[in-house]
Amino acid sequence: MSFPLYALPEEHDMLRETVRALADEKIAPRAAEADETGEFPWDVYKALVAADMHAVHVPEEYGGAGADALATVIVIEEVARACASSSLIPAVNKLGTVPLLLSASEEVKQRYLAPVARGEAMFSYALSEAEAGSDAAAMKTRAVADGDHYVLNGAKMWITNAGVSEYYTVMAVTEPGAGARGISAFVVEKSDEGVSFGPKERKLGIKGSPTRQVILENVRIPASRMIGEPGTGFKTALATLDHTRITIAAQALGIAQGALDYAVGYVKERKQFGKAVAEFQGVQFMIADMAMKLEAARQLTYAAAAKSELAMHGEPQKDLTFFSSAAKCAASDAAMEITTDAVQLLGGYGYTGDYPVERMMRDAKITQIYEGTNQIQRMVMARQLLK
């Protein structure tokens, strides 16, 4: 009895080779500078657009590459291996647009997905607020109906790529007192009157991706820019995260792979006590554990991506919520452990900015926090198991 080989389709392996070559040539050389200056790497964005890797998930009918969820994971993973900040270009474009793919009218999809696919605009996601992080349903941002328009007031916090993105999926309360059922989703444009941005957050990592407040002061937008029906915004937000937590897992995988690759190369070259550091059994055990944790997280992430793809095409996956939370949690925890061990393997050099692993360790930390902390992910998983 024979079984087919459990492996990625050939086109996915070819995609990985293509993205890795691009990342090695155009992205990795800019990673340290983007981290040091905290400036968004526009040249990297242009390189990703030229290769059609900036928003690969956008369907072909809107001018996109139409890549499946697994291909999108591979793109994000390989970009993150070189530069975590840059990997947020394809990842956040997906985060901002999935609500449209799930719930928006055809008019809204055509209007906003096409410019993203062409590389003319990026799309961010505005859910969290200063007092509504893990408890996102406690948001205070309001959208008040005014004829055939809505007027938005409030401030969204921790918004990735705020200021550089042209478009924002914004969640706001349209029916006060109704809780999660009183929240609706809207597309807000950077150019809308009354939209402004807070100062850049001073962060531990992912410094090449700006994180800022999105401030809404009497922002008047057409009602046609609502995503889905009134009161369905929070449901859309949660459904979106089922798909996009997987992209954070992908980012974590890439950061961890970059750290592992560098550490392996270093210990093979570095000599102590007359032999390569890699010859010491204690070091070998560390390397083995790092690779084992990474590969386990990768398999879980790819399985979650496959479920996401089926769900996006109308085949409900009852365990998608569990798998997406598990992938994000496992991959980000592994990334934090692996990057920390990589710093340890480089010793004193690992602690300096002359080597990339300290940046990777700092970048890895956020993957345990955003799109739902890993404590929240464990709550989500437990609820799925116990219901």
Mean pLDDT value of segment 293-318: 97
Mean pLDDT value of segment 48-66: 98
Give pLDDT, residue 4: 66
Give pLDDT, residue 7: 86
CATH of domain 10-118: 1.10.540.10
Handedness of CA 301, 304, 309, 312 (dihedral sign): negative
Instruction: Answer for the pair 348, 296: CB distance below 8 angstroms, yes or no.
Output: no
For CATH 1.10.540.10, list the domain ranges present in the chain.
10-118
For the domain with range 123-230, which CATH number is right: 3.10.180.10, 3.80.30.20, 2.40.110.10, 3.30.420.40?
2.40.110.10
pLDDT band with cut points at 50, 70 and 90 for residue 26: very high
Look at residue 1 and tell me whether its pLDDT is greater than 70: no
Give pLDDT, residue 58: 98
Look at residue 242 and tell me whether its pLDDT is greater than 60: yes
Q: What CA–CA distance (Å, rounded) separates 170 from 140?
A: 12
Instruction: Answer for the pair 139, 191: CB distance below 8 angstroms, yes or no.
Output: no
Give pLDDT, residue 2: 62
Averaged confidence pLDDT in the chain? 97
Q: What CA–CA distance (Å, rounded) separates 266 from 364?
A: 20
Look at residue 67 and tell me whether its pLDDT is greater than 70: yes
Structural domain 234-386, CATH architecture: Up-down Bundle (1.20)
pLDDT in tens, 77-98: 999 999 999 999 999 999 999 9
Kindly list the catalytic residues.
371
Q: What CA–CA distance (Å, rounded) separates 271 from 323?
A: 42
Give pLDDT, residue 348: 98
Q: Which residue has the tokens 């990777």?
A: 360
Give pLDDT, residue 63: 98
pLDDT band with cut points at 50, 70 and 90 for residue 6: confident
Instruction: Output the DSSP codes for 245-305.
Output: HHHHHHHHHHHHHHHHHHHHHHHHH-EETTEEGGGSHHHHHHHHHHHHHHHHHHHHHHHHH
Q: What CA–CA distance (Å, rounded) separates 280 from 283?
A: 5
For CATH 2.40.110.10, list the domain ranges present in the chain.
123-230
Look at residue 32 and tell me whether its pLDDT is greater than 80: yes
pLDDT in tens, 221-233: 999 999 999 999 9
Longest dimension (CA), the chain: 79
Handedness of CA 233, 234, 235, 240 (dihedral sign): positive
Q: What CA–CA distance (Å, rounded) separates 214 from 368?
A: 23
Look at residue 39 and tell me whether its pLDDT is greater than 70: yes
Look at residue 282 and tell me whether its pLDDT is greater than 60: yes
For CATH 1.20.140.10, list the domain ranges present in the chain.
234-386
Structure tokens at 24: 């090695």
